[in-house]
Each structure stands twice: as C-alpha cells, then as structure tokens.
Structure 1
Amino acid sequence: HLLNMKYFLQNATNRTLFLIDEMGGGTDPHMGGAIAESVLDKLSQKACYGLVTTHFSNLKLMAAPDNNIENGAMLFNTEALEPLYILQTGFPGSSFTIEIAKKIGFPHDVITSLQGKVNQKQLDFEVQLQQLDVERKALQQQKKSMDMSDQLLNETLEKYQNLYESLKADKQSIIREAKNEAKNMLMSSNKLIEKTIHDIKTTKADKTKTKQARQHIQEEITKLSDKKEDTSPKEIVHSIATKPLQPQKAKVKKEAPKVGDLVTIEGQTGSAVLESIKGKNAVVVMGNMRMRIAYNKLLKTSKKKTKKESKTAVYTKLADDINEKVLRFQPKIDIRGQRLEEALENTKQFIDEAIMLRMHEVHILHGKGTGVLRAHIRQYLQGIPEVAHVLDEHVDRGGHGITIVRFDL
C-alpha cells in the first residue's frame, strides 16, 4: 500500500487518475491517517484526479474549495440502519459503527466500554455528521414543497393574466362596434333633421312649431337609442318620421335622496347607503368604506338594482377567498397520533380542498405503525374519481409512512 502511494507521488501529473481504497490502511491508524492526509495533500497540489475511500475523520475534514477536495458519501437509512446505494456529494459520510453494533445485538457492557474508549471528539464528529444528514433531508423536503407551491402560484397568475387580456380585448372590440353604430345613427339623424328644417322653411311654419319639431326629433332619438343593440339606424329614422307630434309633457323632477336611501354616485355603477347630509356635502357608506361626497352628485336608486350589484360583490368576494386559499394551502397533512375517525375526517377535508383548488399532488403523513391507518386512507382514496395515482414516498424520505396522492383534474 505504501509502495503504491509512493508510485503516485513520483509519477502523478495533472492528467493522472488515481483510485485508492481505504487510503492509509495496513498500518497504525494514527500514523496511517497522517500519512494519508500528507499524500492526499500532495496529490491535490499536483492537480490530479482521483477517488479515495476512507474511515479516517482527518481526511473528511480536508475538504475545502481552495484545495479541490470534495467529500462524498453513500446514503444510509438512519431509521432502519440500512444502505441505500445512492451517492451524495458535498457531505462527508458516517460509519455508524456504534449504531450498527447495537442493532446486531452487541452486549450492552461492551458497547458502553467502546464509547468510553473512543475519543470524545470523534464521537461528536460522528453525531454531527448524522445530524447534518437529517437536516439536509428535511431541507430537501421543504424545498420540494415550496417548489410545488411556487408552481401553483405561477399557474394561477398565468390563468388570471390570460383572463385579463381576454377581457381587455373584448372591451376594445365592444367599444369599437359601439362607436361605429353611434356614428351611423348620428349620420342618419342629421339627415332627418336637415330634411325637417327644410320642410319647415318651405311651409313657412312659425317659430313655435319649428321648436316643437326639433324637440320631438331629439326626444325620439334619445328613446330609441335605449332600445336593443340590433335596432338599425334605418328603423330609428323610420320611427321618427312616421310618429306624429305629441303635445310636450311637463318634466318630472327626480326625487332627492334622503338619509337611509340607497344611492349611486354620478358617473359610477356601485351603490351605497346615504348616512348623513351636511349642507352641500353628504356621507355615504359603501361596504366597509365611508366617504364624503357632494350631495348633488348622488342619485336615488332602487333595491332591485342594488341586489344585482350585491350579487356581483358576492361573486367577487368568493373569487378573492378562493385565491387566498390557494396561496395558503399546504400540500402536506400530518395525521400521526390522531384517532382513526378523526384522521379520516381530516383527510377527507384535506382531499376535498385539494380537488377544489386543483392541486396536482399532495402528501399524507400517517406514519408506519401497524399499518391500519394507512390501509383505511388507501381504501378511502380508491373511491375518489379525481385521484389518478396513490403510491408510497421514496424510502429515503419516509417510505410507506407517507402516501403520495396525484390527481387527474
């Protein structure tokens, strides 16, 4: 072993690949660890490429960005104390010597003696390695959950952005069509007015009749403009031309709103309640908002109109509530320690909410135990039409103690 390491030291270049198993073995552990550290440091200076397996902690501590040495370890199931045969780089591995000795049935007094003879710093280092491995797995799980939430948020934002663009395009199209139709109506009306004036001049009518004729035309245009959208300009012109003049009626004065009336603000569609009147100003309440406004800008409205607006407000609030639930929804539920009835009820509510919010995947943490809770959860999920797949989590992340549910929505 020493001769092989000597050969590498004499002949290695930056194009050399070396593979050393149990580097520094075959001699005193303290001296072997020191020799291995010195040789590995020299090979690193030569910029060689290599792979070394070792149980020496001093070699694990050599890893640093400035010497091009990186740790790696084969993953280990810390609960079952079984190898997973998966390579993980960036973290040093633990030998799990004492833990494995306990599992295979070493006498308690021998293990106690072993712990007393091992260097305390070495034990602390092994414990820290195991703790780092546990924390790393927890962080990976949290990252996966955050990625799922981020993906869901992006999909929701994209959906509402597309809806906004669609509504914006429809609005522009409606405005354009309305302008064109209004232009045609005005052109037809102007022609009718010019014809009426010409007829009045020809017949040498007096000023009263002329004024009455013009007023009659204007009233008819206003009334007919409120008809259905499919009313054509020709129909409007024909209606005005064929309808006889009616005596002018007195204008009906609009009723002034009083305190407690439902009102609308001039130029707006929303309704409010008139709370008080102070001189030329008034205070109105709109939802949870109170505002001061000029009294002459308020118009009394009917309860029927308000009901329609209230229904729209309810739909808006419902959409806001759903968006809030999507942002706060956690795609994982922990039912460990709960009674069977309580666990099933919580799981049903969790699955119903996930389907309503159109989740793609959720996790149910029920633990391993006797397997009764897992069996009832699986039986319930089989009867849900929206559930496409039900499977166990990877053994490294909980195995059959966690059920993954994937939906087909």
Structure 2
Amino acid sequence: MDPQMLHTLEYDRIIDQLIEQATSETGKKAAADLQPALQGDEVKRMLQSTAEAMDLLRLNGNLSLEAVSDIRPALQRARIGGLLSAVELLRVAGTAGAEETVCSVLEGIDREETPLPLLRELSVQLRETRILAQTIRVAIDEDGEVTDDASPKLSRIRRNIHQLQGAIRNTLDEFLRNSQYQKMLQDPIVTQRNDRYVIPVKQEYRGAVRGIVHDQSASGQTLFIEPQAVVDQNNRLRELELEEEREVERILRELSMEVADKADELENNLSVLTELDLIMAKARLGRRLKGIVPGVNTKGYIHLKKARHPLIPIEEAVPNDVELGREYQAMVITGPNTGGKTVTLKTVGLLALMAQSGLPIPAEEESDLAIFTGVYADIGDEQSIEQNLSTFSSHMTNIVHILDLIDENSLVLLDELGAGTDPTEGAALAISILERILEQGCRLVATTHYNELKLYAHARQGVINASVEFDVESLSPTYRLLTGVPGRSNAFEISRRLGLPEEVIQAAKSQLSSEEKRLEEMIGALSEDRRKAERERAEAEDLRQQAEILLQDLKLGLESWDREKERIRESARREARSIVSRAKREADEVLEQLRRWAREQPGELKEHRLIEAKKRLDDAEPETVLDQRIDRESTRQIQIGDEVLIRSLGQKGQVIDQIGDREFQVQVGIMKMKVSREQLEWKGSSPQESPDKGGTSYRRQSDQVRPELDLRGRMVEEAIPEIDKYLDDALLTGFDHVSLIHGKGTGALRTGVRKFLDQHPRVKSYRSGGQGEGGLGVTVVELS
C-alpha cells in the first residue's frame, strides 16, 4: 500500500491506538510495523485469529504478555559465550515464563465449547522453557540482584560479610563513644570511602588518631580515617566482597550457558509470543471500538452495516450503511459542506485497510469487505475560502499519480472532484476522470457539488447517486448517508427559514434553467420515494421478525411433538414385548406340565386338568380388545372447548373451533391442526364455572406461555425469580422442553441460570443450544 495514501486515510492513527493495546515490547514493535495484507488467505487467517482472541477476552478476561522482551541481542551474545548481566537474564526469564502463561490460559478454556483452533495452533508451536525461567528467578530477584539462594557458597559468603560488617560497626561505635576521641570527630558517624569503613576526624587531630586516611572534605577541615583497629577487618571484608563478586560471576556464567543451550527455543517462542500479543492487541482494540470481525471476499464488493468512523467518539459518530460493488461500481455523494461527505469517504477507505490488517471494524455483524490491491485517496480536509490554482494543481497531481497505479482490484476515493477551477470545466473534467477510473474496473466513491455529476450518476449504468441528509427544520446536517438520492442544495428552503422575503426567493427560482428545475424536481421525488421505501422496509422488517419468532415456535413445537410420539411408541413397544414374553413363558409352563402329566399317568389324564390348562393358556393370551367406548364415543357430539384424543397421534388436545360438520381445529401444546371427526375421541367437557362450589375450574392456555424465555440484559438476581415462575407456567401448559435465552456475554448469566437449574426439582436435564438453536447463548431445558 502507498504510505501517503495510508496517511491520508489516517491509518497511522489507528496503528497508534493498536500500539497502546499491545502489552509486550516486541508486540508494540510488531503493531507499529503492521501493514494491510493483499492475499485473501492471509487476510482471512488474520481476521479469524482476531475473532478467536475476542472470544478469549470475553471468556478469560485477558492474556497479558508484558513480561516478554526483545531478548535477541542477549541470545546472540549467549551463543558466542558472552556473560549476560542479571538484568538481561531477568528479561530472558520473563520471555521464557510466558510459554507457561499462554498454555495455562488456553488449557483453562473448554476446547469443545470454544475451539480457538488458530490460537491453540500457535500455542503448540511454543517450546518448553518454563524450567529455565524458574531457574533464573530463583537466582535473580525482581530488582535484578543475584539472591542468596543462587548457591550455598554465595549464601555462606554473604552471611560472613554481614557478620564482619556488624563487627566493624561495633568497633567503630565503641570508638565514637569513647570520650577521649569525641572532641576529635567532626561528626559522630560511621561512613564509607573506597568501600572501606571510616570516621570523620578534624584536621588538627590528624596525628592523634592512628589509621589510614582515605579522603578529605572539600574544605580540607575533615579527614576520613580508617582507624588502625579495623584495618585488618576491612581487609578481610574486601576479600569476602571479591570472593562474592567471583561467585556471582560464576552463577551468571552458568545461567548464561543455560540460556545459550535454549537459545533456539527462546527465539522461536519470542516470535510466537510476539504474534500472539499482536493478535490480542487487535482484539483489545476491537473491544474498545465496539467492533466486529467482518467477512472478506474476492469479488470486489463492499457491504457495511451501521459503519462508524473509528476515530470519532462512539457517542458522536453517526452509523451508515454502505453498499458498493454488486449492482453499482461507483457512488457519487453530494450534499452541503460539513455534512459528512468526507467522513463517509474516509470511513469506507479506513475500514477497508483495517479489515486487510486483521483489525475489527466499528460496524454491525454481517458486514463484508473486498480485498483490494490498493486503496487510493485524494482528500483535502482544508476548507479554503478561495479555491486557487495551487489547490487545483495539488488535486490533479494526486489524481494523475492514482491513475498510474490503479487496477481492477483497486478502491478509489476522490473528495470534491473537479473543485478549484471553473465550474463548467471542472465538471467536464470530473466526468472524464470518473469514466477513466470506471473503465479500469475499480470501485469508486467520489464527492462533489456539481449538478452535472448528479445527472451523470443518474444516467450512467453502474453508478449511483448518494447524499448526506440535511434537516431544513433545524438547519443542520444529520450526517446520515442516503443511497440512491442525490443531494439538494436546500438554499431556497434555508433562506425561507431564515426569513428571506418570498418574492426574493421566487425571483431567484425564476433564474434557474429548465434543466436545473427538472433536476430539483427529480431529487425531490427521489427523496419522497426514499422515505416511503424506508417506512415500508421498517414494516417488512417487523413482519420478518414476527415470522421468525413464529417459525421458531413451530420448530420447537414439532420437536416436542416428535419426542412425545417417540416416547409413546417406545413405551408401547416395551409393554408389548413384556406381554408377549409373559405369554410365552406361561404357554411353555403349561406345555411342560401336560408332558409331565402324560409321562406320570399315561392314558389317565383327567378332563378337569385339561380344562385347567386351557384356561391358563387363555389367560396368557395378550389383550387385544379395543376400548369399547370408541364406538360409543364416535357418535357423541363434540363442542368447542372439549378435551379430545387424536387417535392417529395418540395425543390429547382441546377443540378451539369447528370447521364444517365433520372437521375441527384442535390445539395440542403450541400446535394447532385440522382433524376429522373420525380421528377424534371425546375425553371431557370444557371447564365451567361452578357457582355452588364458589370457584372456577382453571386450565392454563398454551398460547399464553411461549416455549422460550428471553433473559438477555438481566442480572442473575433478576433472572432467577423470572425463570422459577416461567418453569411453573411451562409445566402447567404441558411443555416438556423450553429454551432459556441468556446470550453469550461474559458467561456470568449463563452460569447463574445453570446453577439454579441444577437445584430445580422439575428439571430433568439441560444442554446448550445446537445448530440453529442459538448455540452457547441458549440453554435448552428438559422438564419432568
């Protein structure tokens, strides 16, 4: 991508925000070097990894890699036998320990519920370095100092040093307390010079204090003398300190050799950890922008839903829909100054660059962007009172440069095309430039004030007009993009609102040419058509949502019905098998008994015994006689409200309407169906008031209780009572399966809901929603 174009579209400001979200030193460098990718597979992989990281943030909260440092120089020195400092080793330990951090975070997330294939693939590439990190951290503390635990010898040396320092101080303290020497001291303190303990003695008492002079004050009035009594102790202390330095160097060298042995693994891990930190930084930026991971395509179209400019505060940005590249190759945006034309232009370009960099974009789900070989923009933000030749020349220089670079897979953004020169010539030149770009097959968005370009966009195939809306009542722009409608000047309406006399306005209108009048009439008609279409679209959207809800109810009802039928069939099969098995056993017993009688008393088998055996066989025969009431009930009159059995289904329902003489509408659960009289068996009359009993019989209607409960946006404490009441209502209605919609979110509501279900006595089981049921955002409950 052209660096100048990236700067024009403020891509560098997005990168600055990305750098802030990275936690590691190398991650920040990688963010600073991030460029839009041009290959479709690479872009898709980056966006998928970002989507997984956003899921990880939602489930785990964070994955910080702030301990990771750029240790490559240290690794190179270790490879050639160099000695690493304690601080360098501590940085190595931070990077080495990050391997364990990443693995533990990913292992803590359920692989089946949240696969995260790309992030797990990266974590598999990490090699084991955690033991090295532990070894270094035992030997070196957080301040970069070698600890006493680094080796037994170092611990012993430091213990001796501490004891000797205490002895030296005790000797010097006795010296300071001696009244004979107190008058000779400048100050009664013990200090150090050249790493040896000394006391400050007045110049005139130099000969009275035996010892070695190590320093004197700037004025020469104070000498820092090491008394003879502690010279030997100081000498011993220095020997111990040298011995300590040698032991520390030995420890650092051993650790440096261990780092050298693991240099290849550490360098590999540094590369993987840097990539992971960059991916997590993208996800954090997406969360900050309230963005989504868009789809990408290689077909050259842009479909943005409720897109916002990422550098405008969320509460101030006006979202817009942008569609380009399918029915229309180019869009010409018109409208008043400061109305949002340039912001729309920049939004399209910047979001395209962000998507190709693997960054989330501030838009709604189902947004889709093409993969462009280049995004080229000529945008002038400065609003000049006098458009002079130099401004025109600057724009033309940029456009000439763009025309030399574009191809059929380019996105071109031109702001105020043809401005800065004579309007007639500028408009003609603008149309010619647009034609040249369209011939190249590019996707194009241009802004203009020229009426000629409005007419051009209206007449030219593959080009569509658009405008930024202006509220005449408030005399301010709304910043909404209206596709298919060219912008109006609104000069007459604004002037009328501001109080300009009507005769002046009419006189001005009379100066317009017939073509200009027709253009204004055309724009007015298109605007009215647009408003009508938006109203109809809103109504259609409401109907679509209602249809989706009904379809979901129907699906749940059918599933419940199918499960109940299968349950009844299985019960019948089990019962039949039991009856047959019992009859077979009984028959076998009778036959065996007859054989035994025949063997024991041949020719003397009594008639009463045969009769008894035959009766046992008759009793063992499975019952197949149908309920005799069926024939009697087939002629019984059925009324609305009666409870009936649908024989073909084996299901009970309630008659809610009569259709003709021999057909009724019956409600079974949430299902309503037409059933002939022959398929119905009367089971009971509709409930009636019983005044003598002082009460009313009650049956809950299934159409008052839906098969799902939407809990999204509620706290756990608010949701539990609502679930409790809903489950009671569902059981009274006859549902055996219901759905609780809690959304994905942070998972807190889902966890709270499932803890409550675990304790509910009428909950048989529950599971997450499957394909088409809402996934992790829904819990499907089976009631008992």
> TM (normalized to structure 2)?
0.29
Q: Is the counterpart of residue 72 in structure 1 residue 420 in structure 2?
A: no
**1:10 shift after superposition:** 5.0
Per the alignment, in what secondary structure is the counterpart of residue 190 of structure 1? Answer: helix
- Counterparts of 1:41-56 in structure 2, within 5 Å, are 41-45=435-439, 51-56=445-450
Q: How many residues align?
A: 268
Q: 1:165 aligns to what?
A: 562
Q: CA RMSD, aligned part only?
A: 4.7
* Deviation of 1:174 (Å): 1.1
Given that residues 71 and 92 in structure 1 are in contact (C-alpha distance below 8 angstroms), is that contact kept between their aligned partners in structure 2?
yes
Report the equivalent of 2:654: 314
2:492 aligned with 1:102:
no
User: Which amino acid in 2 is paired with 1:155?
Assistant: Q
Cα distance in 1, alignment partners of residues 668 and 581 from structure 2: 42
Q: Report if aligned partners of 1:63, 1:70 keep a CA contact under 8 Å in 2.
A: yes
Residue in structure 2 matched with residue 395 of structure 1 by the alignment: none
Distance 1:213 1:76, change over 3 A: farther
Distance of aligned partners of 1:25 and 1:189 in 2 relative to their CA distance in 1, 3 Å threshold: same
CA distance in 2, matches of 1:3, 1:354: 71
Identify the residue that residue 147 of structure 1 maps to in structure 2: 544
Q: 1:200-279 counterparts in 2 under 5 A?
A: 201=598, 204-207=604-607, 209=608, 212-221=611-620, 264=630, 271-273=633-635
Taking a change above 3 Å as real, the CA distance of residues 26 and 181 of structure 1, as seen in their structure-2 partners, is same
Q: What corresponds to 1:23 in structure 2?
A: 418
User: For the residues of structure 2 that align with 1:123 and 1:133, how far apart are their CA atoms?
Assistant: 15
Residues 652 and 668 in structure 2, CA contact (< 8 A), matched pair in contact too: no
Assess, with a 3 A threshold, how the Cα gap between structure 1 residues 307 and 162 changes in structure 2: closer, same or farther. Answer: closer
Within 1, Cα distance between the matches of 2:667 and 2:426?
69
Check the 8 A contact 1:73/1:87 in 2, yes or no: yes
Counterpart code for 1:108: E
In 1, the alpha carbon distance for the partners of 2:502 and 2:671 equals 58
Contact 1:72 1:87 (8 Å CA) reproduced = yes
SS of 2:414's partner is strand
Q: 1:169 to 1:323 in 2, by over 3 A?
A: closer
Deviations, residues 77-129 of structure 1 (Å, cap 9, x unaligned): 57766422234555433333333333333322233333433333022122123
Deviation at 1:147, TM superposition (A): 3.2
Cα separation, 1, equivalents of 2:617 and 2:473: 89
Contact kept in structure 1, 2:554 and 2:671, CA below 8 Å:
no
Q: Which amino acid aligns with 1:150?
A: A
Residue 180 of structure 1 corresponds to: 577
* Residue 171 (structure 1) shift: 2.9
Question: Relative to structure 1, is the Cα distance of residues 171 and 66 closer, same or farther in structure 2, using a 3 angstrom cutoff?
Answer: farther
The structure with the larger Rg is 2
> How many percent of aligned residue pairs carry the same amino acid?
15
SS in 2 for 1:191: helix
Partners of 1:320 and 1:115 in 2: CA distance: 69
Structure 1 CA distance for aligned equivalents of residues 610 and 459 of structure 2: 96
Residue type at the aligned position of 1:23:
G
Q: Deviations over 1:349-403 (max 9, x none)?
A: xxxx997557969xxxxxxxxxxxxxxxxxxxxxxx99xxxxxxxxxxxxxxxxx
SS of match in other structure, 2:489? coil
Measure how far apart 1:313 and its partner are: 4.2
Q: Which residue does 2:480 correspond to in 1?
A: 86
Q: Say if 1:271 and 1:286, in contact at 8 Å, map to a contact too.
A: no
Q: Give the alignment of 1:334-373 within 5 angstroms.
A: 356=705
* Corresponding residue SS for 2:467: strand
Check 1:19–1:92 CA distance in 2 against 1; reply closer, same or farther (3 A cut). same
Give the Å deviation of 1:130: 1.3
Name structure 1 gaps, 5 residues minimum.
227-253, 256-262, 275-284, 289-305, 325-352, 362-384, 387-409
Alpha carbons 1:74, 1:86 under 8 Å: kept: yes
Residues in 1 aligned to 2:527 and 2:643: alpha-carbon distance in whole angstroms = 64
Q: Which residue of 2 aligns with 1:34?
A: 428
Q: How far does residue 185 in structure 1 lie from its aligned partner after superposition?
A: 0.5
Measured at CA, do residues 315 and 126 of structure 1 come closer, stay the same or move farther in structure 2, by a change above 3 Å?
same
Match of 2:520 among 94, 102, 123: 123
Output one character per residue of 1:198-255: Cα deviation in whole Å (capped at 9) or x when no partner. Answer: 4664562455x355324422453369x69xxxxxxxxxxxxxxxxxxxxxxxxxxx99
Which amino acid in 1 is paired with 2:620?
Answer: I
2: distance between equivalents of 1:321 and 1:106? Answer: 68
2:357 aligned residue: none
Contact map agreement 2:469 2:479 (CA 8 A) in 1:
yes
Which range moves more in the overlay, 307-316 or 157-166?
307-316
- Tell me by how many angstroms 1:46 deviates: 5.0
- 8 Å Cα contact 1:24/1:35 also seen in 2: no
**Separation (CA, whole Å) in 1 of partners of 2:621 and 2:536:** 69
- In structure 2, relative to structure 1, the CA distance for the partners of 1:182 and 1:13 (3 Å cut) is same
Provide the residue aligned with 2:341 in structure 1: none
* 8 Å contact kept, 2:643–2:654: no
Identify if the C-alpha distance between structure 1 residues 52 and 307 changes in structure 2 by more than 3 Å, giving closer, same or farther: closer
Native 8 Å contact 1:24 1:32 kept in 2: yes
1:175 and 1:69, CA in 2 relative to 1: closer, same or farther beyond 3 A?
Answer: same
Q: Which has the higher contact order (CA 8 A, sep 6+)?
A: 2
Letter in 2 for 1:15: L
Following the alignment from structure 1 to structure 2, what is the Cα–Cα distance between the partners of residues 56 and 94? 11
Distance change >3 Å, CA 110–CA 96, structure 1 → 2: same
Q: Alpha-carbon deviations, 1:175-202, whole Å to 9, x = none?
A: 3321331233123211332145346645
Residue 45 of structure 1 contacts residue 67 of structure 1 at CA under 8 Å; is this kept in 2? no
Q: Deviations over 1:55-90 (max 9, x none)?
A: 323312333898764433224457766422234555
Question: 1:305-355 CA deviation, whole Å, 9 max, x = no partner?
Answer: x9764994426756379667xxxxxxxxxxxxxxxxxxxxxxxxxxxx997
1:193 aligned residue (584, 590, 595): 590
- Indicate the SS of the match to 2:667: helix
Among 394, 397, 403, the alignment partner of 1:13 is 403
* Residues 200 and 210, structure 1, Cα contact 8 Å, conserved in 2: no
| Mapped partners of 1:180, 1:354: distance in 2 | 38
Q: Which runs of 5+ in 2 are unaligned?
A: 1-388, 407-411, 657-664, 673-701, 712-721, 724-784
Measured in 1, the distance between the counterparts of 2:419 and 2:451 equals 12
**Contact 2:467 2:486 (8 Å CA) reproduced:** yes
8 Å CA contact 1:94, 1:126 repeated in 2 = yes
- Taking structure 1 as the reference length, what is the TM-score of the superposition? 0.50
Q: 1:184 is paired with a residue of what secondary structure?
A: helix
